[in-house]
Chains A and B, each alone.
Chain A
Amino acid sequence: MADRKTSLAIIGGGPGGYAAAFLAADLGLEATLVDPAVNPGGACLYRGCIPSKALLHVARLIGEARAAWEWGVHFDKPKIEIDQLRGWKDKVVSQLTGGLGRLVKERKITHLQGTAVFEDARTLKVTDVQGGERLLGFDQAIIATGSEPVLLPGFDGAAEHIWTSRQALELTEIPKRLLVIGGGYIGLELGTVYAALGAGVSVAEMTPHLLPGVDRELVRFLRKGIDPLFEQILLQTTATEPKVQKNGVKVSLKNEAGEASSALFDKILVAVGRRPKAGSLGLEKAEVQVNENGFIAVDEKRRTSAPGIFAVGDVAGQPMLAHKASHEARIAVEVIAGKNVVYEPAAIPAVVFTDPEVAWAGITEAEAKERGLAYKVSRYPWSASGRSATLGRSDGLTKLVVETDSERILGAGIVGPGAGELIAEAVVAIEMAATATDLGLCIHPHPTLSETLKEAAEIFHGTATHIHRPKRK
Chain B
Amino acid sequence: MIEKIVVPDIGENVVSGKVVAVHVRTGDGVAVDDTLIELETDKAVVEIPSTAAGRVTEVLAAEGDELKVGDAIAAVDTAAQKTGEAGRELASGQEEIRGAPAEEEAPAEEIPGPEKKIDTAEPKAAPAQADEGRDLIPAAAEKVPAEQKPAAPVPASPAIRRLARELGADIQAVRGTGPGGRITEADVKTHVRIRLEGGRTAAAGMPVGAGEPPLPDFSRWGSVETVELETVRRLTAASTAVSWRTIPHVTQFDKADITALEDFLKQNAGEVARAGGKLTLTPVLTRICAQALVKFPRFNASLDANHGRLILKHYVHIGIAVDTPRGLLVPVVRNADAKRITELAVEIADLAERARNKKVTAAEIAGGCFTISNQGGIGGVGFTPIVFWPQVAILGISRAATEPVAVEGQFQPRRILPLSLSYDHRVIDGADAARFLRWVCACLEQPMALLL
Contacts and interface: CB of A to CB of B under 8 A. Distances in A.
A242 B291 CA distance: 84
Interface string A311-343: 000001111110010000000000000001111
A217 B23 CA distance: 12
A319 B137 contact: yes
Contacts, number: 212
A185 B152 CA distance: 27
A297 interface: yes
Interface string A335-368: 0000011111111111010000000111110010
A276 B126 CA distance: 11
Nearest to A152: B129
Interface in A159-196: 182-187
B166 A340 contact: yes
Contacts of B404: none
A17 B95 CA distance: 47
Contact of B127 (A209, A211, A273, A306): A273
B12 to A, nearest CB: 10
A408 B176 CA distance: 13
Q: Tell me what chain A mostly uses at the interface: helix, strand, loop, or mixed.
A: loop
Interface stretch (B155-163, B190-198, B245-253, B301-309): B155-163
B155 A408 contact: yes
A472 interface: yes
Q: Which one of A212, A238, A271 has the highest number of Cβ atoms from chain B below 10 Å of its Cβ? A: A212
Nearest to A187: B132
Given A273-B125, A299-B118, A213 B156 contact: no
Nearest to A472: B33
A317 B33 contact: no
A346 B179 contact: no
Contact of B130 (A238, A273, A348): A273
Contact of B143 (A276, A324, A344, A407): A344
B363 to A, nearest CB: 22
Interface string A421-437: 00000000011110101
Interface stretch (B180-188, B367-375, B431-439): B180-188
Nearest to A153: B128
A136 interface: no
Contacts of B156: 433
B121 A316 contact: yes
Interface in B30-50: 33, 35, 44-45, 49
A150 B158 CA distance: 35
28 contacts: A150-B129, A184-B131, A184-B134, A186-B132, A206-B131, A211-B132, A213-B124, A272-B129, A274-B132, A291-B121, A293-B121, A295-B121, A297-B121, A299-B118, A317-B121, A318-B123, A318-B135, A319-B137, A319-B139, A341-B162, A348-B140, A350-B138, A352-B133, A352-B136, A381-B45, A406-B155, A433-B154, A433-B156
Given A184-B135, A295-B121, 12 more contacts: A212-B131, A213-B131, A214-B137, A272-B132, A296-B121, A306-B223, A307-B220, A316-B121, A342-B165, A343-B120, A352-B133, A369-B23
Rank and list the top 8 A-B pairs by shortest CB-CB distance, nearest first. A184-B132, A348-B138, A273-B130, A213-B134, A211-B133, A433-B155, A406-B180, A212-B131
